[in-house]
């Protein structure tokens, strides 16, 4: 079923870790986000997404739904190696030993034996993040995480990390959509071989009625949400739309059967106003 739903287009991208000669890891370009989704709903949404054809689920310790996600993955009947699972270490668990303990808790909650990607959830607190990354490197070497990366890191955070690490992150997960493109940060990550993951690509629903977006969506007979997801994919961003509604989970996956023209991509790029739904940790010290 996955091939039918996700037919056409680029379905995955390889993750690279400069400084680490481990096995290659590919991440599906489309994933399901479960931020602020209660455990029962997270379990149902994960099951629906996997049935629909998704093979990538993005959770975090902060979300308090790792156990539900892990159970849904185990009960799906899909071989474990075919599902890409991400979780993250939260700010209050940063530091070397704290991060190791937090990872073990997450692994226990998920009940999956390993995670495909482990992320530092944000660059705070500043005084702990370098020690946190040393733990991340050890977790990668252990094989219990197939890849490691960061989330909400700005250019200055990444430069600091590069100057103090042995293994570079493979991913930076940040908020990305046409209304807030993080152009300089995106260019920096692309230059350094770091894959960008887009969270809140649907603007948490706040900009779906934008006149330009709605007009473009009608041109392709697609929803505004599908246009936002497709915009991310054509930018080579891994994209993580969130939904617990069966119809929307399906709709959000139906984005591989069309291409947005260069002209319309430019119009979408023109919507950038540095807008961010919520707090922007990439600007923190």
pLDDT single digits (tens) 98-146? 999 999 999 999 999 999 999 999 999 999 999 999 999 999 999 999 9
Q: Which of 63, 153, 199, 276 is catalytic?
A: 63
Q: Is 63 an active-site residue? A: yes
CB atoms within 10 A of CB 157: 23
Sign of CA dihedral 66, 127, 22, 235: positive
Q: Is 198 helix (H, G, I), strand (E, B) or coil?
A: strand
Mean pLDDT in the chain? 95
Binding-site annotation, residues for substrate: 121
The two structure tokens encoding residue 251 = 């709709």
Q: pLDDT for 172-219, tens place per residue?
A: 999 999 999 999 999 999 999 999 999 999 999 999 999 999 999 999
Q: Which residues contact residue 111 at a Cβ distance below 8 angstroms, ignoring those fewer than 6 apart?
A: 67, 70, 71, 74
Domain ranges of the chain: 12-206+238-245
* Biggest CA-to-CA distance, the chain: 53
Does 12 have pLDDT greater than 90? yes
pLDDT confidence tier of residue 32, bands split at 50, 70 and 90: very high
- Res. 167 pLDDT band, cuts 50 70 90: very high
Specify the pTM. 0.95
Please choose, from the candidates 275, 252, 279, the residue with its C-alpha nearest in 3D space to the C-alpha of residue 203.
275
ω before 237 within 30° of 0 (cis)?
no
Q: What is the C-alpha separation between 282 and 30, in angstroms, rounded?
A: 23
Q: What is the C-alpha radius of gyration for the chain, rounded to an integer number of angstroms?
A: 18
Instruction: Please give the annotated binding residues, written as ranges.
Output: 121
H or E stretch covering 57: strand 56-58
Question: In the numeric block, which tokens belong to residue 89?
Answer: 């270490």
Give residue 279's pLDDT.
84
Neighbours of 215 (CB within 10 A): 13
148 strand-pairing partners: 118
Q: What secondary structure does DSSP assign to 127-158, as a single string? A: TTHHHHHHHHHHHHHHTSBS-EEEES--HHHH
Helix (H/G/I), strand (E/B), else coil: 162: helix
* Residue in the block written with tokens 């979780």: 87
What is the phi/psi pair of residue 76, to 5°? -70, -25
33/219 Cα distance (integer angstroms): 27
The model's pLDDT over 212-247, given as tens digits with 9 standing for 90+, comes to 999 999 999 999 999 999 999 999 999 999 999 999
The distance in angstroms from the start CA to the end CA of the chain is 45
According to CATH, the topology of domain 12-206+238-245 is TIM Barrel (3.20.20)
CB-based contact 223:217 (threshold 8 Å): yes
Q: Tell the residue number behind the tokens 């054809």, with chain if given.
A: 53
In the structure, what pLDDT confidence band is assigned to residue 52 with cuts at 50, 70 and 90? very high
Please count the residues of the chain.
285
CB 89 within 8 A of CB 120: yes
């Amino acid at each position: 079923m996955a091939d039918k739903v996700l037919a056409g287009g680029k379905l995955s991208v390889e993750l690279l870790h400069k400084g680490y000669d481990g096995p290659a890891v590919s991440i599906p370009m489309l994933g399901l986000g479960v931020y602020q989704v209660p455990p029962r709903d997270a379990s149902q949404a994960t099951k629906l997404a996997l049935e629909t054809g998704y093979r990538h689920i993005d959770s975090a310790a902060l979300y308090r739904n790792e156990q539900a996600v892990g159970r849904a993955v185990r009960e799906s009947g899909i071989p474990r190696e075919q599902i890409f699972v991400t979780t993250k270490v939260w700010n209050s668990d940063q530091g070397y030993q704290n991060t190791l303990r937090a990872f073990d808790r997450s692994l226990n909650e998920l009940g999956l034996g390993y995670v495909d990607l482990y992320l530092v959830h944000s660059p705070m607190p500043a005084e702990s993040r370098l020690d946190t990354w040393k733990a991340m490197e050890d977790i990668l070497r252990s094989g219990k995480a197939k890849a490691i990366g960061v989330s909400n890191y700005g250019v200055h955070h990444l430069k600091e990390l590069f100057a103090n690490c042995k293994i570079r992150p493979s991913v930076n997960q940040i908020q990305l959509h046409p209304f807030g493109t993080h152009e300089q940060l995106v260019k920096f990550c692309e230059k350094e071989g770091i894959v960008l993951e887009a969270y809140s690509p649907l603007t948490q629903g706040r900009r779906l009625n934008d006149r330009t977006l709605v007009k473009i969506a009608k041109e392709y007979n697609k929803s505004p949400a599908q246009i936002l997801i497709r915009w991310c994919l054509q930018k080579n961003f891994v994209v993580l739309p969130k939904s617990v509604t069966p119809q929307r989970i399906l709709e959000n996956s139906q984005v591989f059967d069309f291409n947005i023209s260069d002209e319309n991509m430019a119009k979408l790029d023109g919507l950038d106003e540095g807008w961010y739904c919520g707090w922007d940790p990439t600007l923190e010290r």
